[in-house]
């Protein structure tokens, strides 16, 4: 086989000698021995996202199912409002439908969500709120009955007909702010009664919230039920951590900065911690939380997604499928979790919640060490830690580097170099390093190179995760959503451990509210190689 590359245009022309045949997608024929000319798209893309979709116009219907629930009023509707205020939801194209079982009027729903609509970026917030609320219409119906969804489709179609004088596609976005138990029935109703019917094109997409199942079997069953009704490009499994500003910055940091490239491997990095801490307990959600626990609620999804971005190889491009391919490779390289590399905890007073069983074995705290069996990360522990009712509230990634060999300054006791990405609160990234203490003596001290967002980007409002992800859904960009094979690989990692916990084979250790969690967790981290810094505290700089 010979190749001739002609780079006269933006794509490559390839001249190929074709002595054999493959299937029709490959573009060559067998036996002729002739030259054939083939064209292929370049891997490069003009847009950073790699998404080549032309901006769509026409009618956009956003349907929030579970509109009367907490998630919808606290997250979904405020995100839509912020997108509206920034001009991403033009009122001459967009209409928003709320759907739930509760029998209320349009105005009742508007009044329920009004107090959650706050936008500091708006010049006239009260006027914007009023205009936005007028875009919202409410339809009541069950989640498994035809009547409600037929009525919903009728109202959506009525809105689409009213916009029919404008040329463009008809787009329907269904946001399932619902418990996963009703996903199958709701998806069947959408598929049967509410699909986009426009001759001008357009689409129907669905957004589903976590938890996507409770273990591998239930997740696969749920994926199969939804997959029978919708194609993968129509399904957006939302994990709001992937919409956070600093999480989205990870790929840029890793692959756009030369000095990270040679350091980001097992030769230089000793361990990686990905931490989620809350300083409050379940607070009225005890019954719900007890079904899932901290591993299903936080570690198996949010922290594991962050791990993928920290550990993945450079993708071929920034196209969503190329990025998600690399994330799946990371997950498939994770070794089975060892019981001795897990510490579980439950805060004292958790079972006092009347909705929590008296003998609950559900962990409210967990430290789990994951090990990735590949060339880059062999031997580097990834320490995933999450807990409730602790002494602080934060989420961060802490990359700890190895000790300096031949330490002539005798400063190892002060701590190692660390690169820390603070996801929340006070978004920041800082490099912890050893410098000379100012003065006449040659003594060392730990300090930092600091990029704190509130100081560096004054006046810039960081978008909420849900804003970004809903906008990505409208644009058809699946980069920050979980693909089916990715979801399966994630559950394969944690399901055996979760089953051992569910069966009572592993018990959580009690810990005091307001503490760091069980002391055994710190001991496990130290055993894995993490060296805690003493005497140094990062203080977010003031403006």
Q: Output the pLDDT for position 290.
A: 92
**Considering the chain, what percentage of its residues have pLDDT values greater than 70?**
85
The answer to whether 425 and 415 are in contact (CB under 8 A) is no
Is the pLDDT assigned to residue 507 strictly greater than 70?
yes
Whether residue 434 is contained in a domain is answered as yes
Question: Are residue 203 and residue 302 in the same domain, yes or no?
Answer: no
Q: Give Cβ neighbours of residue 25 (< 8 Å, ≥ 6 apart).
A: none
Whether residue 447 sits in one domain with residue 341: yes
The pLDDT value recorded for residue 164 is 64
Residues 203 and 247 in one domain: no
Between residues 3 and 404, which one has the greater pLDDT?
Answer: 404
* 291 lies in the same domain as 371: yes
- Cα(first)–Cα(last) distance of the chain, in Å? 63
- Quote the pLDDT of residue 19: 42
So what's the pLDDT on residue 205? 94
Give pLDDT, residue 305.
93
* 45 within domain boundaries: no
Domain interval for residue 307: 242-463+482-528
Average pLDDT estimate for 136-148? 92
Q: Is residue 167 part of a domain?
A: yes
- What CATH number is associated with residue 184? 3.40.50.720
Q: Is 302 tagged catalytic?
A: yes
Which residues is 251 bridged to in the sheet? none
Q: Is residue 236 part of a domain?
A: no
Residues 332 and 459 in one domain: yes
Percentage of the residues of the chain whose pLDDT score is greater than 90: 55
What is the Cβ-side half-sphere exposure of residue 156, based on CA atoms within 13 angstroms?
29
Residues 203 and 251 in one domain: no
The reply to whether 340 falls in a domain is yes
Please indicate, yes or no, if residue 179 is contained in any of the structural domains.
Answer: yes
Tell me the pLDDT band of 364, cut-offs 50, 70 and 90. Answer: very high
Q: How many domains does the chain have?
A: 2
Domain for residue 431, yes or no?
yes
| Residue 122 confidence (pLDDT) | 58
Considering the domain architecture, whether residues 146 and 278 belong to the same structural domain is answered as no
What average pLDDT does the segment 454-478 reach? 85
Name the helix (H) or strand (E) containing 219.
helix 216-227
pLDDT digits (tens, 9 = 90+) for 302-348: 999 999 999 999 999 989 899 999 999 999 999 999 999 999 999 99
Residue 169 contacts residue 160 (beta carbons within 8 Å): no
Q: Is residue 174 located within the same domain as residue 316? A: no
Contact assessment for residue 512 and residue 348, using Cβ atoms and an 8 Å cutoff:
yes
Provide the pLDDT for residue 14.
Answer: 39
407 within some domain: yes
- pLDDT of 123 reads 56
Lowest mean pLDDT among 83-87, 164-168, 254-258, 270-274: 164-168
Residues 336 and 458 in one domain: yes
Q: In angstroms, rounded to a whole number, what is the distance separating the alpha carbons of residues 469 and 477? A: 9
What burial letters (b/e) apply to 144-176, b meaning 16+ CB within 10 Å? eeeebbeebbebbeebbeebeeeebbbbbbbbb
- DSSP strand pairing (202-209 vs 235-238): parallel
Q: Which residues of 102-129 are buried (b: 16+ CB within 10 A; e: fewer)?
A: eebeeeebbebbeeebebeebeeeeebb
Residue 209 phi, psi dihedral angles, 5° rounding = -90, 155
Among 166, 185, 209, the domain-final residue is 209
Q: What was the pLDDT predicted at 363?
A: 96
What pLDDT score does 374 carry? 95
* Residue 162 sits in the same domain as residue 74: yes
Q: What is the CATH number of the domain that holds 394?
A: 3.30.360.10
pLDDT of 30 over the 70 cut: no
Mean pLDDT over 392-414 rounds to 83
Mean pLDDT of 482-505: 95
Token look-up 């006092």 returns 352
pLDDT score for 32:
45
What gap in Å lies between CA 343 and CA 508, rounded to an integer? 8
Instruction: Looking at the structure, tell me whether residues 246 and 186 fall in a common domain.
Output: no
Please tell me which residue, 447 or 328, carries the higher pLDDT value: 328
> 349 pLDDT exceeds 50?
yes
Considering the domain architecture, whether residues 168 and 300 belong to the same structural domain is answered as no
**Mean pLDDT for the chain?**
84
| Six token digits for residue 195 | 């699909």
Q: Point out the catalytic residue in the list 95, 240, 302, 480.
A: 302
pLDDT at residue 20 greater than cutoff 50: no
pTM of the model: 0.84
pLDDT reading at 76 higher than 80? yes
């Amino acid at each position: 086989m010979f190749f001739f590359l002609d780079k006269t245009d933006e794509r490559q022309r390839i001249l190929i000698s074709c002595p054999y045949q493959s299937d029709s997608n490959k573009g060559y024929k067998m036996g002729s021995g002739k030259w054939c000319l083939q064209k292929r798209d370049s891997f490069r893309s003009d847009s950073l996202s790699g998404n080549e979709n032309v901006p769509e116009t026409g009618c956009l219907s956003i349907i929030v199912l579970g509109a009367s629930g907490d998630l919808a009023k606290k997250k979904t509707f405020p995100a839509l409002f912020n997108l509206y205020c920034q001009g991403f939801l033009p009122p001459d194209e967009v209409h928003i439908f709320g759907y739930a079982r509760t029998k209320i009027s349009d105005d009742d729903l508007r009044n329920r969500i009004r107090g959650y609509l706050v936008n500091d970026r708006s010049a006239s917030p009260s006027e914007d709120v009023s205009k936005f609320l007028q875009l919202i219409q409410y339809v009541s119906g069950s989640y498994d009955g035809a009547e409600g969804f037929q009525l919903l489709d009728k109202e959506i179609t009525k809105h689409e007909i009213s916009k029919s004088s404008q040329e463009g596609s008809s787009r329907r976005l269904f946001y399932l702010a619902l418990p996963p138990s009703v996903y199958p029935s709701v998806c069947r109703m959408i598929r049967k009664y509410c699909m986009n019917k426009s001759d001008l094109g357009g689409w129907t997409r669905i957004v589903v919230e976590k938890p996507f199942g409770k273990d591998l079997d239930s997740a696969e069953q749920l994926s199969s039920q939804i997959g029978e009704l919708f194609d993968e490009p129509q399904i957006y499994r939302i994990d709001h951590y992937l919409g956070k500003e600093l999480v989205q910055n990870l790929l840029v940091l890793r692959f756009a900065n030369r000095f990270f490239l040679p350091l980001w491997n097992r030769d230089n990095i000793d361990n990686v911690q990905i931490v989620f801490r809350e300083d409050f307990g379940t607070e009225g959600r005890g019954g719900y939380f007890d079904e899932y626990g901290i591993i299903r609620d936080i570690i198996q999804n949010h922290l594991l997604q962050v791990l993928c971005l920290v550990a993945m190889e450079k993708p071929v491009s920034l196209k969503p499928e190329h990025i998600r391919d690399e994330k799946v490779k990371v997950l498939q390289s994770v070794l089975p979790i060892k019981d001795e590399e897990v510490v579980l905890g439950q805060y004292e007073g958790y079972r006092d919640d009347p909705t929590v069983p008296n003998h609950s074995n559900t962990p409210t705290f967990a430290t789990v060490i994951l090990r990735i069996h590949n060339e880059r990360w062999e031997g580097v522990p990834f320490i995933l830690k999450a807990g409730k009712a602790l002494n602080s509230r934060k989420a961060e990634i802490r990359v700890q580097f190895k000790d300096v060999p031949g330490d002539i300054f005798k400063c190892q006791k002060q701590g190692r170099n660390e690169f820390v990405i603070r996801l929340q609160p006070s978004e920041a990234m800082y490099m912890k390093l050893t410098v000379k203490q100012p003065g006449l003596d040659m003594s060392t001290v730990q300090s930092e190179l600091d990029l704190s967002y509130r100081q560096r980007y004054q006046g810039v409002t960081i978008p909420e995760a849900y804003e970004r992800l809903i906008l990505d859904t409208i644009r058809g960009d699946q980069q920050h959503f979980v693909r089916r094979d990715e979801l399966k690989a994630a559950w394969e990692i944690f399901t055996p451990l979760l089953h051992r916990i569910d069966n009572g084979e592993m018990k959580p250790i009690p810990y005091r509210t307001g503490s760091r969690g069980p002391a055994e967790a710190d001991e496990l981290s130290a055993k894995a190689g993490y060296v805690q810094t003493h005497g140094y505290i990062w203080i977010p700089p003031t403006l």
